[in-house]
Chain A
Amino acid sequence: MTDLLKIIPQLTIGAVDLVAAFLFMYGLKRMSSPVTAPSGIKVAGLGMAVAIVASFLYAFDVGATAKPFLTVNIGLAVVALAIGGGIAWWAGRKVAMTAMPQMVAIYNGMGGGAAAAIAAVELFGNKADGVTQLVVTLIGALIGAVSLSGSLIAWAKLDEVIKKPLRFQGQQILNALVALATLAIGGYFVAVTHGVITPPVATSDLIYIFFGAALLFGVLMTLPIGGADMPVVISIYNAFTGLAVGLGGFVLQNPALMIAGMVVGAAGTLLTLLMAKAMNRSVSNILFTNFGTVVQQKQGEIKGSLKPVEASDAGIFMRYAASVIIVPGYGLAVAQGQGKLYEFVKLLQAAGVSVKFAVHPVAGRMPGQMDVLLAEAGVPYDMIFQLEDINDEFANTDVALVIGANDVVNPAARTDKSSPIFGMPILNADKAKKVYVVKRGQGKGYAGIVNALFYGDNCDMVYGDAAAVLTKMIEAVRALGTKAAA
């Protein structure tokens, strides 16, 4: 009878976790197309919910030392779920779409912290069964802790709590030393646990030192990286956390954790590589060299001049064009102009103009963020085109309207070998018959490079806040009446 009381919960947990693992992968699969994506996350969410509920069945099979604490522990688990889940849910519902990158960074750090904490329980309790388990536990703890502290620094940078990258002489060497020291402490700990050496300090002190060093490494590794590169860093830490969770699953002998963690580890790695490619950078280049401190090379002379025009004139010109491609950048989101932009687009469409959006893979502060911001404003996803799908169309397009974007339309990336962005895939806005650039002022882009597009014969500049400019364009087009163009 007592056997049955243990076997049934074990079987149930096993079966539910199997279902959960399936639902996660099926959900992620559905997330790979805009048509099925909204249901994909719900499928994955269902998997999570059943797995969490079933995990309370572990209560039927706890060790003798934990028995007296069981009631309290169940209570603590419910409280922790309610507080952690409640606060994060509330924050996630409330956060502005522009602040999404730092929110993801926080959630990711939490996951890494949880993985590290689980490893800590195993280590302090000396629960590892054999050398393999101990080593895997330590690696999971290391990766989880690095992901935790690194994600928090990434959050601080994206939220502009930390404004400037911290760099100093010999930083790489210091980081390497801290990393090596962490690994050395881990190795020493394994030797101590298996009685090879007798330590001068208590083993629990060793664990504290190990976690301290791992957390420090996460901080040091992230501090020198510039804010523009943070999305890639978050993606790396996302993969890290997945890996840590997967390894934790091995230690706890839980296949659902192993599968979910490793799927995310692989997916996160691929996503990181895709993002780095879109930015024309290698991952090692982002992690170990300092963008922005690149010596500003002398650029080739740019011929031509900047030609400012009135917003209303530009708006009317587009009203009588046959086709318009809009290139939105993060400047549009800063001005909160997405809603106004779509209002303007609907006016153009009502007048018979064919309008498309061309979104660069790294537009926004996080790959794909511009797509989310446009979707938030109500733009249907079938109007949004990615670089490789639309780049050939610019040449046959009457007007390219560039709003708040700069480096992603800089033709220097195609032609000027001395340019820091040379080789980066860009949107060929300069090939359109007419280009309007909406910009706050004459400043340079993120990369600090002059943009030859702005000086082209076919390009006019509309200076001003994106939202204000769009308001003027809307008024000008409305004043014409909305009868369809012939």
Chain B
Amino acid sequence: MQFSIAISGFVAIYIFMLAAFAGWVIIGHVPAILHTPLMSGSNFVHGIVVVGGIFALLNAGNVQEQVIGFFAVLLGAGNAAGGFAVTDRMLAMFQPSEHKPVQAVAGDHKASQTRKA
């Protein structure tokens, strides 16, 4: 007995289409303030390629495949780890004002201040 899902033909195209839509919609709502972390964040997500690298390396049957597979894992791991490190660092810096934790409230507060001035 073999358990595996064959993703071929139209099924693959469906997956690609829906994933592309999801990516487009998710990113469409990101404010410009987060563009840099988002770029490095999406950069991190394609670090999942390391999983493909591990698959290729584990299935390597000769030295050439081992060498290329090794580099695939090495580079993919760099992509994933580095992407996470910089994105996490950047996002941790975004802090709200201390006494105004909710952004919407902070906006209203400022607006009223300006009107008074």
Residues of A bordering B, CB below 8 Å: 3, 6-7, 10-11, 14, 17, 20, 24-25, 27-29, 31-35, 37-38, 40-42, 44-45, 48, 51-52, 55-56, 58-59, 62-63, 65-66, 69-70, 72-74, 76-77, 79-89, 91-93, 95, 97, 100, 103-104, 106-108, 110-111, 113-115, 117-118, 120-122, 124-125, 132, 234-235, 238, 241-242, 245-246, 248-250, 252-271, 274-275, 278, 322-323, 354, 356, 359, 361, 364, 366-369, 371-372, 375-376, 378, 380-384, 386-387, 393, 396
- Listed residue (B6, B41, B62, B106) with the most chain A CB atoms within 10 angstroms of its CB: B41
Q: A271-B38, A371-B34, A375-B94 are known contacts. Are A249 and B52 too (CB-CB below 8 A)? A: yes
- CB-CB contacts of B1-43 with A at 8 A, as 1s and 0s? 1111111110010011001111110111111111111111111
The minimal Cβ–Cβ distance linking B78 to chain A, given in whole angstroms, is: 4
Residue of B nearest to A148 (CB): B75
The minimal Cβ–Cβ distance linking B7 to chain A, given in whole angstroms, is: 6
5 contacts between A and B (CB under 8 A): A82-B77, A88-B77, A103-B82, A254-B51, A260-B48
Residue of A nearest to B40 (CB): A104
Residues of chain A with a CB closer than 8 A to B38's CB:
31-32, 267, 271, 368
In contact, A41 and B32 (Cβ under 8 angstroms)? no
In contact, B61 and A40 (Cβ under 8 angstroms)? no
> Is chain A's interface secondary structure helix, strand, loop, or mixed overall?
helix
The minimal Cβ–Cβ distance linking A121 to chain B, given in whole angstroms, is: 4
In contact, A113 and B75 (Cβ under 8 angstroms)? yes
In contact, A25 and B26 (Cβ under 8 angstroms)? yes
Q: A111-B46, A372-B36 are known contacts. Are A70 and B58 too (CB-CB below 8 A)? A: yes
Q: A106-B82, A110-B75, A110-B82 are known contacts. Are A73 and B110 too (CB-CB below 8 A)? A: no
In contact, A85 and B68 (Cβ under 8 angstroms)? no
Complexed CA–CA distance, A359 and B27 (Å): 20
In contact, B34 and A32 (Cβ under 8 angstroms)? yes
The minimal Cβ–Cβ distance linking A351 to chain B, given in whole angstroms, is: 13
Residues of chain A with a CB closer than 8 A to B49's CB:
111, 114-115, 118, 241, 245, 248, 257, 261
Q: A238-B42, A266-B20 are known contacts. Are A77 and B59 too (CB-CB below 8 A)? A: no
In contact, B46 and A264 (Cβ under 8 angstroms)? yes
Residues of chain A with a CB closer than 8 A to B4's CB:
10, 253
In contact, B31 and A48 (Cβ under 8 angstroms)? no
Residues of chain B with a CB closer than 8 A to A82's CB:
77
Residues of chain A with a CB closer than 8 A to B62's CB:
65
In contact, A41 and B41 (Cβ under 8 angstroms)? yes
Residues of chain A with a CB closer than 8 A to B43's CB:
104, 107-108, 111, 238, 241, 264
Q: A117-B53, A245-B52, A372-B90 are known contacts. Are A267 and B15 too (CB-CB below 8 A)? A: no
Residues of chain A with a CB closer than 8 A to B26's CB:
25, 28-29, 32, 263, 267
Given contacts A69-B61, A366-B36, 4 further A-B contacts (CB under 8 A): A104-B83, A248-B52, A253-B4, A255-B15
- Listed residue (A66, A121, A238, A253) with the most chain B CB atoms within 10 angstroms of its CB: A121
The minimal Cβ–Cβ distance linking A278 to chain B, given in whole angstroms, is: 8
Residues of chain B with a CB closer than 8 A to A58's CB:
54-55, 58-59
Q: A28-B41, A375-B94 are known contacts. Are A382 and B103 too (CB-CB below 8 A)? A: yes
- CB-CB contacts of B60-71 with A at 8 A, as 1s and 0s? 111011101111
In contact, B37 and A62 (Cβ under 8 angstroms)? no
In contact, A74 and B30 (Cβ under 8 angstroms)? no
Complexed CA–CA distance, A104 and B36 (Å): 9
